[in-house]
Amino acid sequence: MKQSGRSRLAPYLQSVLRIVVAFTFTAHGTQKLFGFPGQPFHLPVLTLSLLSAAAVMEAAGGLLMLVGLLSRPVAFLLSGLMAFAYFMQHGPRGFWPIVNGGELAVLYCFVWLFFSAAGPGPLSLDALRGRA
């Protein structure tokens, strides 16, 4: 059966989605660690704390997802990180993510969960290694 143009593009768009999400996710970590890009909401994190651990996971995990290396386990860990962040930081402020400011944490959580199951797509180091 002949595939439509959309279904042939889907794996590549999956890779593009991973790259774009990883790029924006990495910026959250680098902003906490280095105050870059833009103005940090607080001083760069230099102490051993939950926030600094999250910042390192965001920056390093985001970079691994950007290039598509070890994508499934990294995406699973990042999904858990975002679930933890939601319930620790946002959940106590109310039930609805739109009210408690947790929309990004929820979105990242489920996007990373998707990639942990679906893989990184063909435009990745994992695919080059035959492990996508």
Report the candidate in 123, 11, 16, 126 with the shortest Cα–Cα distance to residue 71.
126
**What residue type is 6 in one-letter code?**
R
Higher pLDDT, 26 or 44: 26
Domains of the chain, residue spans: 8-128
Q: Please state the rounded mean pLDDT for residues 51-78.
A: 96
Q: What's the pLDDT score for residue 48?
A: 74
| Cα–Cα nearest to 21, from 121, 112, 94 | 112
Q: Distance of CA 39 to CAs 33, 52, 126, Å?
A: 12, 17, 34
Which band of pLDDT confidence, cut at 50, 70 and 90, is reported for residue 32? confident
Q: What is the pLDDT of residues 66-112, one digit of tens each?
A: 999 999 999 999 999 999 999 999 999 999 999 999 999 999 999 99
Question: What's the confidence (pLDDT) of residue 42?
Answer: 60
CA distance 59 to 100: 24
Mean per-residue pLDDT, 52-78: 97
pTM: 0.89
Averaged pLDDT for residues 115-121: 98
On the question of pLDDT at 37 being above 90, the answer is: no
Mean per-residue pLDDT of the chain: 91
